Amino acid sequence: MLQFTINAERCIRCRRCVTDCPVCIIEQKEKEVPFIRPEQEENCLRCQHCLAVCPTAALSILGKKPEASLPLDAAHMPNLDQMTLLIRGRRSFRQYQDKNVDPELLQQLLATLANSPTGINNRRLTFRLIDDREAMNRLREKVMTGLNEAAKANRIPERAAYLTNTIAPYFEQRRDIIFRNAPHALIVSAEADAPCPQQDVALALAYFELLAQSAGLGTVWWGMLHFVLATLPDIRTLLGIPPDHVFYAMLFGRPAIKYSRTVQRDNEAEIRHIIF
């Protein structure tokens, strides 16, 4: 049940919910309040566009009350200059402080991340979080020990051959090339039969990266996890990533380094204007 309800006293019959519904299931007859036919409810994307677009907070759906939503007004939104600085100043951090991020901040970031876009609002994403540096340390030791054994037994796949270059630095110099000594990791996965699982995963992590860096955290995309799991499939089981899930991961934590300025890349994108 969609629990689609209209407060008739607040509703000004503006039809905005009707015209903005992506699947066109909201109807309105003349001066009556909008409604959804029962047989159309299964077509709802659960995007909540109708709740968000209502100017008088008259509409509720899925049990969501408009009063519980944050108001959208220019005074509270980041402006273009602020967003430009955030994106130009985004860095991949490979040096981290050896301490946990505040759990309340992590909860806020993940709750916000649930709003990242997915294809046709499918929302079939799973977020796996390593939120404790001691757990990360145990995983790091297990992975590096496993890779060392795999290298000696010549069991590292050709496509993951780079991992052999990480073993000696770790055990001889305690230089952590794979985990970068990060205290935390976020692994986002999607079912392979979702409409666009790879894009959904990448978008969620991109949103998380900007959220995290706006909160003073450092992040780095963790592509090497794919090589690790190809070599040590038991680690995938340990992390709880189903075999049929598409996934990617990100390392993060409090950075141990500060960047003082943006880099200069504005002219490095190839732009082609399409003219018909």
At 74 the pLDDT is 87
Q: What is the pLDDT at residue 218?
A: 98
φ, ψ (nearest 5 deg) of residue 192? -60, -25
- What is residue 131's predicted lDDT score, i.e. its pLDDT? 97
pLDDT at 78 (0 to 100): 94
Residue 72: CB atoms within 10 Å: 8
pLDDT for residue 220 is more than 90: yes
Task: Note the pLDDT of residue 15.
Answer: 97
Q: Which tens digit of pLDDT belongs to each residue from 157-203?
A: 999 999 999 999 999 999 999 999 999 999 999 999 999 999 999 99
Q: What is the mean pLDDT of residues 213-231?
A: 98
Instruction: Give 28's pLDDT tier (boundaries 50, 70, 90).
Output: very high
**Cβ(106)–Cβ(254) under 8 Å?**
no
Q: Where in the chain is the domain with CATH 3.40.109.10?
A: 86-253
pLDDT-based confidence at residue 76 (cuts at 50, 70, 90)? confident
CATH number for region 86-253: 3.40.109.10
Report the predicted TM-score, pTM, of the whole model to 2 decimal places.
0.94
**Which part of the chain has CATH 3.30.70.20?**
5-68
Exposure string of 217-248, with b = 16+ CB inside 10 Å and e = fewer, is bbbbebebbebbbebbeebbeebebeeebbbb
Three-state SS for 5? strand
Helix (H, G, I), strand (E, B) or coil at 218: strand
What is the CATH code for 5-68? 3.30.70.20
- What would the two tokens of residue 133 be? 């540096």
Whether 82 contacts 210, CB under 8 Å:
no
The per-residue pLDDT of the chain, averaged, comes to: 97
